[in-house]
Amino acid sequence: MTELDADVCVVGGGPAGLTLALLLARSGVNVVVLERSAELNRAYWGEILQPGGLAILDSLGVLGPARERGGHELSRFQFLEHGKALLDIDYRALPRPHNYLLSMPQRHLLAALLDAARPYGNFRYHDRNRVTELIRENGRVQGVVARGPSGNTVVRARWVVGADGRFSLLRRLAGIPHGRQDVFDFDVVWVKLPAAAETLPYARILRSGGSPLLTYPSWPDSLQLGWTVPHGGYARMMAEGLDQVKAELARSAPPYASLIDAAITSVADLSLLDVFAARAPRWSVPGLVLIGDSAHTHSPIGAQGINLAIQDAAVLHPLLLKELRAPGAGAVEEFERRRGPDIARVLRVQAMQARGMNSGGRVARFVRPKATRILTRTPLFGRITREIVHGNPGIRVAAELFRPPEPAKE
Ligand SMILES: Cc1cc2nc3c(=O)[nH]c(=O)nc-3n(C[C@H](O)[C@H](O)[C@H](O)COP(=O)(O)OP(=O)(O)OC[C@H]3O[C@@H](n4cnc5c(N)ncnc54)[C@H](O)[C@@H]3O)c2cc1C
């Protein structure tokens, strides 16, 4: 058994966990990250970053190195119904320099965050370590137990951060309910097709004959489709056979019908995402705080998850430092008070987007273009767009708390 001591143990090396760990390491905090996975590859995991997330990554100095690994700038977000643009957001019209969407494999972001954190002697990253238990003493979480390739690792820490994603074990072990809200009546099936040379650098929702479909260029050379299917209905569709599923998909994406036919040869080419929203009713218990998807989970429509996870880390960083310096000050509880309203707004906007995008039938088809045209001329539309693009614009990195790096121990 290995035993480690830390100020903070972060469980989960996703965007939330690694961003927070980097911020803490730069502030002189002794931080251990435990990550169950052996590698950074997260196939079909969040790929699109909004300007709000880009700005934070840039001020951390990791946006450039992440982009050098590869990614596509997308200049527009469109909602097309039968080829006609009902909604067309031109990201180039936003203030520079973060006036684009970035489509980038999540592993590029994670690798850049890790590279930035590794020079700090007070940062330790243990992959292939799956946390299985919380250590609780005197009514407080005091650490975790993880199972790894060389046996158990016990990490004792003043604070444990649950950054372990949408099905968070830490949340469950702490007795905090998931807060799942089944507000979406669709799931998403992800597919990668070889991108044609003329593929536009746009993220688009297409509404044609079938159910709505998200498309965007995925690095290096694919077109990613996110096909919405009725919630819980994928197994029924699959029971009718792959050819039938392909035909349905082609009906939703007529321009890509021949690519779909050629590129999908087995069930393994399709990946199902159970879409739900969730907000845990509380984000901390003494000694443990949840961030990112473990505290609140979102639909992939609107590309919010990574951005919110990164922003969570930026908000929690100074509060956790305050709590470490003055234990019992209630700074960690302040995190949920500050961040909760932002999350509630995003959940509301996403539910509204889903209703607008998915409502079917002749009346909806008649009303949608008119309603969209009216909405896009109102101040409400500007507010919604700003919410999606920037999140809370007041969130910044507390760089004044950083210290020069201590050299990494051999
Ligand atoms: C298919 C899909 C597509 C998406 N598309 C987008 C998008 O385009 N844009 C966007 O912004 N968001 C998108 N999202 C959401 C986005 O991926 C998440 O919101 C984001 O990754 C959340 O970051 P996180 O760090 O909170 O959690 P995660 O990224 O889920 O990271 C959690 C980490 O914890 C680790 N872990 C879990 N359990 C344990 C354990 N017991 N012990 C140790 N480690 C553990 C996991 O291996 C993982 O590395 C998408 C999500 C999915 C599922």
Nearest atom, ligand 1, residue 306 CA: 11
Torsion of CA 374, 75, 91, 271, to 10 degrees: 70
DSSP 33-72: EE-S-SSS--TTS--EE-HHHHHHHHHTT-HHHHHHT--E
The C-alpha angle with vertex 395 and arms to 75 and 20, in degrees rounded to 5, equals 95
Which of 147, 188, 293, 350, when mutated, tests ligand 1's pocket best, judged by the most ligand atoms within 8 Å of its CB? 293
Residues 6+ apart with CB under 8 A from 124: 4, 6, 31, 32, 33
pLDDT of residue 362: 59
Which residue has the least CA distance to atom 26 on ligand 1? Answer: 292
Cα–Cα distance for residue pair 58/97, rounded to 1 Å:
10
Ligand 1 neighbour 273 (Cβ under 6 A)? yes
pLDDT of residue 407: 63
Ligand 1 neighbour 277 (Cβ under 6 A)? no
Confirm if 157 and 7 have CB atoms less than 8 A apart: yes
Confirm if 162 and 35 have CB atoms less than 8 A apart: no
Q: How far, in Å, is the centroid of ligand 1 from the Cα of 293?
A: 7
Each domain of the chain, given as residue ranges in start order, spans: 2-69+104-181+276-401, 186-273
Write out pLDDT tens, residues 245-279: 999 999 999 989 999 999 999 999 999 999 999 99
CATH number, span 2-69+104-181+276-401:
3.50.50.60
Is the domain spanning 186-273 CATH 3.40.50.920? The answer is no
Confirm if 118 and 125 have CB atoms less than 8 A apart: yes
Cα–Cα distance for residue pair 329/31, rounded to 1 Å:
21
Which of 19, 33, 36, when mutated, tests ligand 1's pocket best, judged by the most ligand atoms within 8 Å of its CB? 36
Which residue has the least CA distance to atom 15 on ligand 1? Answer: 305
Helix (H, G, I), strand (E, B) or coil at 99: coil
Beta strand pairing call for 151-162 and 288-290? parallel
pLDDT of residue 359: 62
Length of the chain: 410
Cα–Cα distance for residue pair 45/61, rounded to 1 Å:
23
Cα separation values, 11 from 46, 114, 121, Å: 19, 15, 19
pTM for the whole structure: 0.95
Which residue has the least CA distance to atom 52 on ligand 1? Answer: 45
pLDDT of residue 410: 54
The two three-digit tokens of residue 90, written as one number: 């031109």
CATH topology identical between 2-69+104-181+276-401 and 186-273: no
pLDDT of residue 363: 56
pLDDT of residue 208: 85
Give the DSSP H or E segment for 142: strand 140-148
Residues with pLDDT less than 50, the chain: none
DSSP 214-263: EEEEETTTEEEEEEEEETT-HHHHHHT-HHHHHHHHHHH-GGGHHHHHHH
Helix (H, G, I), strand (E, B) or coil at 288: strand
Torsion of CA 311, 91, 204, 46, to 10 degrees: -20
Q: How many other C-beta atoms are found inside a 10 Å radius of the C-beta of residue 379? A: 7
Q: How far, in Å, is the centroid of ligand 1 from the Cα of 378?
A: 34
Q: How far, in Å, is the centroid of ligand 1 from the Cα of 377?
A: 35
Ligand 1 neighbour 17 (Cβ under 6 A)? yes
The C-alpha angle with vertex 321 and arms to 148 and 298, in degrees rounded to 5, equals 65
pLDDT of residue 368: 61
pLDDT of residue 87: 86
Confirm if 174 and 219 have CB atoms less than 8 A apart: no
